[in-house]
Amino acid sequence: MKPVEIAKDIYCLSAIDWNIRDFHGYSTYKGTTYNAYLILDDKITLIDTVKKQFADDLIDGISQIIDPKKIDYVVSNHTEMDHSGGLPRIMHKVGEDKPLYCSQMGQKNLSRHFPQNWNYHPVENGGKLSLGNRTLTFLETRMLHWPDSMFSYMKEEKLLFSSDAFGQHYAGLERFDDQIGEAIMPHARKYFANILLPFSPLILKLVDSVTEMGLELDMLCPDHGIIWRKDPGKIINSYVGWSQQKPKRKALVIYDTMWHSTEKMATTLVEALGEEGVDAKSIHLRSWHRSDVLTEVLDAGAIIIGSPTLNNGIFPTVSDFLTYMKGLKPKNKVGAAFGSYGWSGEAVKLINEHLGAMKFDVVDPGLKVQFVPDNECIEACQELGKKISRALPSE
Ligand code: FEO
């Protein structure tokens, strides 16, 4: 591990997970990173650790700067094990009796993960920790990403250690936004869509309260991916825009198919939407990873779901996707369902129930066809495309 000095006596220690391709169901096709931060001051402080298998790398990185035993304080901004998995190894090396600062919920959650009776120092929202010349202020950020999550702010350097927020699943040697440029934005967007989307209302409140507090920011230091130093406002503004979930004149026709009947309906719908000036995309669920589909969902105005009926139910890949999407709570969508069937035909009704549960504006009872679409079905698909286009913003 190669430490990178991001400000005077403050180091980013990144474990680069080049080859991870599945991060609990999220497709990390560019890998990821786990960032810890070391602050040298009168009290030497480590903020966060890394995933368990990289703990020795972190110790190696720290040892290139100081003897790990010299660390006085450890701060845990977040309990999830991509940041705390290395904690037992680190605490063992640093000293089991060293103070461990975390939120109150952090103490509860860390205790449920690790049996060690560490020297916990739970902190309040707004609590401060003097390191000597500089001070950390802790900001509770419940549910960004877990109930235990908090940020640590250093006023003197205008640095925010933001844990999961503003991160990206990206493995690379670049450490800063100015080293990678626009190429990082698709990763930041996908990360938001698949991890932080359900917490959009909290993000908008948080940005408001941080603005009211007048926090000055030179650098945003997340626990995944690159650090925002050239333009931290860019990612904050992107978060505000993504959290608002304003629908575009964009429609996703998301489907699976058994004998190409549902696929034929999907193709007709996409063409009909395109003729109405809608940015329409055809998404076959056995060709797309669910986490890439969710990235497209972020700004889509219409989500149209197609499934054949299989054994009186929804096709498994479509069920999987609906369950995943429902958990991420996308808002402000128009919805519709379609699909072919052989003899019972429950899928459309069941999809409509999912769309209704997500509070989508279901604009049509749904289209279903027995076995193979005929001309009447194709015309109905074209009409449905027009109906959906009328429900979308005109832009
Ligand atoms: Fe990167 Fe919620 O952990």
Q: How many helices (H) and strands (E) does the chain have?
A: 13, 22
Residue-wise pLDDT tens digits, 295-305:
999 999 999 99
Q: Ligand 1: which residue has its CA nearest to atom 3?
A: 80
Q: How many residues does the chain have?
A: 395
251-387 matches 4-244 in CATH topology: no
Grade residue 174 by pLDDT with cuts at 50, 70 and 90.
Answer: very high
| Closest atom of ligand 1 to CA, residue 164 | 1
Pocket of ligand 1 (CB under 6 A): 78, 80, 82-83, 145-146, 164, 223-224
Distance (angstroms) between ligand 1 centre and the Cα of 303 equals 28
Residue among 45, 76, 199 nearest 138 (CA) = 76
> What does the DSSP assignment read for 281-333?
EEEETTTS-HHHHHHHHTTEEEEEEE--EETTEE-HHHHHHHHHHHHH---S-
| Fold type of domain 251-387 | Rossmann fold (3.40.50)
For residue 57, is pLDDT > 90? Answer: yes
How many angstroms does the Cα of residue 216 sit away from the middle of ligand 1?
A: 25
Mean pLDDT, residues 200-221: 91
Report CA(167)–ligand 1 centroid distance (Å). 9
Residue spans of the domains in the chain: they are: 4-244, 251-387
Average pLDDT over residues 166-174: 98
What is the CATH topology of the domain spanning 4-244? Answer: Metallo-beta-lactamase; Chain A (3.60.15)
Whether the predicted pLDDT of 211 surpasses 90: no
Question: Considering only CA atoms, which residue is closest to atom 1 of ligand 1?
Answer: 164
Residue 16 has pLDDT above 80, yes or no: yes
Q: Is the dihedral of CA 269, 350, 365, 292 positive or negative?
A: negative
Residues 386-395: tens digit of each pLDDT:
999 999 999 7
Model confidence at 194: pLDDT above 90: yes
Per-residue pLDDT for 214 more than 90? no
At residue 228's C-alpha, the angle toward residues 36 and 187, to 5°, is 85
What is the 134 CA–ligand 1 centroid distance (Å)?
A: 27
Catalytic residues: 24, 78, 80, 82, 145, 164, 191, 224
pLDDT digits (tens, 9 = 90+) for 319-364: 999 999 999 999 999 999 999 999 999 999 999 999 999 999 999 9
What element of type H or E holds 350? helix 347-357
Q: Residues 133-138: what's their mean pLDDT?
A: 98
Place of tokens 């927020």: 165
pLDDT at 210: 83
Q: What percentage of the chain reaches a pLDDT higher than 70? A: 100
Burial environment of residue 71 by CB neighbours within 10 A (0 to 12, 13 to 18, 19 or more): buried
Q: Contact, 109 vs 147, CB < 8 A?
A: yes
Tokens coding 90 = 């680190």
pLDDT of res. 213: 85
Phi, psi (5° rounding) for residue 180?
Answer: -120, -25
